[in-house]
Structure 1
Amino acid sequence: MFDELIDSGELPIARKSVLPGTGFFLPDELEEDFEDEQTQAALEGADVAVIADADADGLACVALIREAYDDVQVVPEPDDDTDTEDAEGTEETEETEETEETEAIAAGDNGDDPLEEPEPTPHSVALVPASPHNVEDALARVAEFGDDGIDLFVCDLCPDRYEYVEDELDAALDTADSVAWYDHHQWGDDVADAVRDAGVELVVGDSDEECSADVVYRSLEYEFDSMYEELAAVTRDHDLWLREDPRSDDLADYAYWTDPAEYVEVVREYGVDLPAWAEEFIAERRIEKEQLIDQAIGRAEFREIGDYTVGITYGRCSQNEVAEAMREDGADASVIVKPAGSASIRGTDEFDRCHEVAGKVNGGGHPKAAGCKPDIYNDMLDYANHWTSRGAVTKQVILTAFRDVVESAAEEAEAEESDTDASSDA
């Protein structure tokens, strides 16, 4: 296949909006070999490993842990030749709710070379980026490439089922001297109990009040400088979609568009007030980001499901801003289907069952922010249909899940009302 057929960097915005990034087309085996090489290079000589979601929240956790372990700082210099293609936008979270951010980075959607050679790291605290869908792979790599007696942290990640990580976690526990898991997502009691029973220190914060950086900040026995308290607070502002501090959007965008290792070192040096060269980089990328947002908003449709209005659209874009636009147009919940096959689900005060919807279509997350990737893609013809139909099948599958959740909620409410009436009559 000719490289230019899978390189979306020079495509017009309208076409770029409907296609996945270059890395999507790379064979899994090639990508896995690359991730093995990167992890092995990062773990060489490291005393600590941090498996973290590669969004602003997960990377803030890495910054806090490096500070607590007095790890060396490697402050990057501004790059005048920074590539500005494929500005897809921020993802959250999770995504879980934003698995998409990490998946998009792995797929090359952030404009970086998806097969860039790993560089030797001087850090004693190694960063191992992961997503909720491949946390087990990251655990296996730490078990394989980490030194015996290493300290292991897992941050901003939540497995949907314990069996997904059971064997890999056991292997990591055999290698590591200690394993701590810090998160703020919605954990099932059975999963949390199993992880703790395995020998892990698990701390899960209130997903309505804390981000994972908050959990790390209060859990580590270390007196952090005030800049790290501020880093956790501003990270929370975006991760919980509070949007009261404009700097939080800058952090989220910068974490998405730059290399994860660079982000960690920049916020360790500058805190939440990014340097001018980083702000210039963000401003350049936002030009295309806004164009992609406009494309997705222009495709938005609205469906009435029970008492709720659900907005749904398709495109490579920043889902939070697109969801906010649909909310302003009357949506109680919003779905953004991505070219890579995943989808983001965003709720409001009126609809707070996003994680239940996602759970029906191979996903999970928070009550008001979740992510999923329906298991409906069997071959490239299915993906070709996905791109040309602008996600028609995926939209239908997720809307059906919405109907199931809404109907179940209505039945539960009716049953509770009947029980209340019965109690009153008695």
Structure 2
Amino acid sequence: MDDDLIDEGDTPRSRYTRLPGKGFFYPDSLDEERAERRAAEAIEGSEAVVIADGDADGLACAAMIREAYDAALDVADFEAAIAARLESSDDTEADDGVDAVDDMDDGEDDRDDPTADAHAESPVGLVSAGPYSIDTSLERVLAYADDGIDLFVCDLCPDDYEWIAEPLEALAETTESIRWFDHHQWDPETAESVRDVGVDLVVGESDEECTADVTLRSLDHEFADRWSELAAVTRDHDLWIKEDPRSDDVADYSYWAGPEEYTTVIGAYGADLPETVQAFVAERRVEKEARIDAAVDRAVAHAVGDWTVAVTYGRCSQNEVAETLREGGADAAVIVKPAGSASIRGSETFRHAHEVAGKVNGGGHPQAAGCKPDIYDDMLDYAQHWTTEGQACKRVILAAFEAVAEEVAERTDETDGTDESDDAEAK
């Protein structure tokens, strides 16, 4: 493929925000080879391994675990690398789901980057994962870890036990311990199965704690005050409380930095990011705000049952877009991404996001969920997705909203009927 076709360059924002980032066009087979190699380098020889969601919450947990093991990396190298990026006129733009400083290939420039091998340097290895790659991450730990390590899984919830059963049960036989910290809503049977293997599973209340809170109170270590402050700031963003302005900074930084960089920097500074990082975040935020505006302008409101559901499309920061749409009167917001996935955000008047996502190959929280409908069979389907701004994806998600609306109405009718029967019997 001609690089110019996926190089944003002078392409208008109205066009390139309708397309996925460059990482989408990188073949999965090559991406998997690279991910396998880097995971092996991170895991081999480690005394402990952390599998964590690659967002601010999951990586805060990784930083806490490294602190407990006295295994944090030197922050000075990362600060130097950030400063160099700020000075470089060739700095590449961060794309959704792609680390801004972690290029897809191993170029010669890595030899001048003091952080290029950071993923292999801590005695507590970090494997960044998503909810649909837990099994793969567990398999990699099984393949490359020494016997007797401590394994941690943070901020990840499997939809079903069966697809993680084999590697998890094997790891239970070879590890010293497995501890799993989370705050998502677990299926009781899945949680019981995980615990039956011998895993120390601690799940916090999803609407009261983030996983950083759970990790902080679960580790047997005397943490300095900045760690509880970091957990509070992380919670402020992860639960969308939005009372501490620093929470947007740490969330944006976790999105734009590589996992090792973010984990190291917040491990050293907590929620009060250093000036170099603040400058980096401010520079990125200019583009972020423009993408938010473009997505909000594309939004269309739909009436579904008693709810107003605003649906939009584009490469953007979904939480901020959803917040803007809620401020405009939407009970729920759907942000369909060019890569085919979608974010569903609720509000106090809509707490069924996880139910909607569950009907279209996804899951999450009552007010924040994600999904990727199984509707993409080939590149022609994706071509249609891009040129129609995700119309097929929007239709199946709106149909899921309709189904949930019917189920909620039925539950309400059943509750009302029960109340009426009870009243009749009382008389």
| TM-score, structure 2 as length reference | 0.93
Tell me if structure 1 keeps the 8 A contact 2:52–2:126. yes
Deviations 1:194-235 (A, max 9, x none): 111121110000010000000000001111110111110100
The reply on whether 1:114 has 2:104 as its aligned counterpart is: yes
The 1-side partners of 2:407 and 2:329 are apart by: 23
Give the 3-state SS of the residue equivalent to 1:165 in structure 2.
helix
Alpha-carbon shift at residue 22 of structure 1 (Å): 1.1
Equivalent pairs, count: 409
Report what 1:186 is aligned to: 185
Unaligned runs of 5+ in 1: 89-103
Report what 2:84 is aligned to: 80
Larger Rg: 2
Deviations 1:295-342 (A, max 9, x none): 100100000011110000000000111001111111000000000000
Deviations 1:251-310 (A, max 9, x none): 000011011101111111111111111011001101110111111001000000111100
The 1-side partners of 2:7 and 2:168 are apart by: 37
The 2-side partners of 1:72 and 1:152 are apart by: 17
Tell me if structure 2 keeps the 8 A contact 1:139–1:169. yes
Unaligned runs of 5+ in 2: 111-115
Alpha-carbon shift at residue 72 of structure 1 (Å): 3.9
- Judging changes above 3 Å, is the alpha-carbon distance between structure 1 residues 51 and 23 closer, same or farther for their aligned structure 2 residues? same
The reply on whether 1:165 has 2:164 as its aligned counterpart is: yes
The 2-side partners of 1:171 and 1:342 are apart by: 32
Tell me if structure 1 keeps the 8 A contact 2:85–2:91. no
- Judging changes above 3 Å, is the alpha-carbon distance between structure 1 residues 355 and 376 closer, same or farther for their aligned structure 2 residues? same
Give the 3-state SS of the residue equivalent to 2:18 in structure 1.
coil
In angstroms, what is the RMSD of aligned CA positions? Answer: 1.5
Aligned residue identity for 1:40: A
The reply on whether 1:218 has 2:217 as its aligned counterpart is: yes
Report what 2:42 is aligned to: 42
Tell me if structure 1 keeps the 8 A contact 2:179–2:200. yes
The 2-side partners of 1:143 and 1:122 are apart by: 20
Tell me if structure 1 keeps the 8 A contact 2:309–2:334. yes
Report what 1:236 is aligned to: 235
- Judging changes above 3 Å, is the alpha-carbon distance between structure 1 residues 32 and 140 closer, same or farther for their aligned structure 2 residues? same
Alpha-carbon shift at residue 10 of structure 1 (Å): 5.2
Deviates more, 1:15-24 or 1:300-309: 15-24
The reply on whether 1:332 has 2:331 as its aligned counterpart is: yes
| TM-score, structure 1 as length reference | 0.93
Question: Which aligned pairs between 1:14-29 and structure 2 lie closer than 5 A?
Answer: 14-29=14-29
Alpha-carbon shift at residue 129 of structure 1 (Å): 0.3
Aligned residue identity for 1:404: A
Tell me if structure 2 keeps the 8 A contact 1:217–1:229. yes
Tell me if structure 2 keeps the 8 A contact 1:84–1:285. no
Alpha-carbon shift at residue 74 of structure 1 (Å): 1.7
Tell me if structure 1 keeps the 8 A contact 2:73–2:121. no
Tell me if structure 2 keeps the 8 A contact 1:9–1:86. no
Give the 3-state SS of the residue equivalent to 1:397 in structure 2.
helix
Aligned residue identity for 1:163: E
Higher relative contact order (CA 8 A, sep 6+): 1
- Judging changes above 3 Å, is the alpha-carbon distance between structure 1 residues 11 and 143 closer, same or farther for their aligned structure 2 residues? farther
* Percent identical residues: 56
The 2-side partners of 1:68 and 1:9 are apart by: 44
Give the 3-state SS of the residue equivalent to 2:84 in structure 1.
coil
Aligned residue identity for 2:84: D
Tell me if structure 1 keeps the 8 A contact 2:50–2:125. yes
Question: Which aligned pairs between 1:369-380 and structure 2 lie closer than 5 A?
Answer: 369-380=368-379
Deviations 1:329-372 (A, max 9, x none): 11000000000000000000000010000000000000000000
The 1-side partners of 2:8 and 2:258 are apart by: 19
Tell me if structure 2 keeps the 8 A contact 1:86–1:111. no
Report what 1:33 is aligned to: 33
